[in-house]
Amino acid sequence: MKLFKYAFLAAMVAFCTSHTAAAQEDLLKLAEAQDSTREGPMQATFKGTRLVNGHTVETNGAGALLFLISHRFGALNSGAYTFWGLDQATIRLGLEYGLNDRLTLGMGRSSLEKTYDGFLKYRVAYQKPAGLPVSVTAFASTALKSQNWLNAENNYDFAHRLTYTYQVLIARKFSDRLSLQVSPSMVHRNLVETPTGETNVLAVGAGGRFKVTKRTSFNAEYFYLLPGETADAFRNTLSLGVDIETGGHVFQLMATNAQGMIEKFFIPQNGGTWSNGDIYFGFNISRVFGVKEQKKW
């Protein structure tokens, strides 16, 4: 009888506590249903503004200044005498500034052909968890070859030094680990090297990242030249890389068959082949500085 009484009491206590817990659970469900947060834009589709060589959909936040050092060693197949390419280097120094969350302006200078470049990047659309399935960014850049002409007697115009690139970058973050991007691209050259060369070169880039840990990811990128004279004379670019993020820095290590670090080089004029060992190791290092702090926060 006593046992029964205790059992009954225990049951009562259990019932009462479970009851309050249940009540709180219901109340919490009610609270979660009230959620007024607008489904915000998908953040961090990629860690950096570059996937490997090419741009990602990511723009800098408002007031963020990004300093980017891109470096490529020489070709692996250059042999022991040049220490498998590590003796040589091409470099690009760049600055990118986010005017607002959507618009980023950038400029840079590559040692290859002593090229200056400037670009505009505009985030047209954000992927939303409960809306648009992709992020879209428009990209336009101008590259200026400042290297002296080999045959200056040809009376070149200034315009002959210019190359324009236009891209639409479309990316989707499939999960917190996997993001993929396609990048239809067009490169317009005011001067082509050969009589049969194409002024406008069309290509499609595709690539993505797979996060290995929270702060590291594996990246791959491929630029496919659409059939034409350029596709016959030059090579598609395949790049593999690893991102390592530490606070305000993103380190990107890569192996690629392109030596140049701007679209003008790695899309329409890439002669390197992986199978021949025209493989360039390299890295990008970026550092973000908060120039202007957000006012509304």
Partner 1 sequence: MKNQVLLLLFLGVTLGWGSPPAKGQDRFYTKTGYISFFSKAPLEDIEAHNRQVVSFLDFKTGDLVFSVPMKAFAFKKSLMQEHFNENYVESDRYPKATFKGKVLEIQQVNLALDNLYKVVVEGVLTIHGVDKLIRTNATLQVKGRQVQGKSTFSVTPQEFNIQIPSLVKEHIARQIDITVDMLYVPYVTKNL
Which residue, 18 or 276, is less far from partner 1 as judged by CB? 18
| Shortest Å, Cβ 129 to partner 1 | 9
Which residue, 195 or 247, is less far from partner 1 as judged by CB? 247
Q: Is 225 helix (H, G, I), strand (E, B) or coil?
A: strand
Which residue, 23 or 89, is less far from partner 1 as judged by CB? 23
59-89 in b/e form (b: 16+ CB < 10 A) is bbbbbbebebebbbbbbbebeeeeebbeeee
| Shortest Å, Cβ 194 to partner 1 | 45
CA distance 283 to 261: 10
Beta bridge partners of 98: 104
| Shortest Å, Cβ 53 to partner 1 | 23
| Shortest Å, Cβ 85 to partner 1 | 30
List Cα–Cα distances, 292 to 28, 61, 120, 266, 289, in angstroms: 39, 10, 19, 33, 9
Which residue, 176 or 193, is less far from partner 1 as judged by CB? 176
Structure tokens at 233: 């004379």
| Shortest Å, Cβ 135 to partner 1 | 14
**Residues of the shown chain interacting with partner 1 in the complex, contacts defined by CB under 8 A:** 19-21, 23-25, 27-28, 30-32, 34-37, 40, 43-44, 61-62, 64, 101, 175-176, 214-215, 245-248, 288, 290, 293-294, 296-297
Which residue, 43 or 154, is less far from partner 1 as judged by CB? 43
| Shortest Å, Cβ 221 to partner 1 | 21
Cite the beta strand spans of the chain per DSSP E: 64-75, 89-98, 103-110, 115-125, 135-145, 162-173, 178-189, 200-211, 216-225, 237-246, 249-256, 280-290
Which residue, 118 or 131, is less far from partner 1 as judged by CB? 131
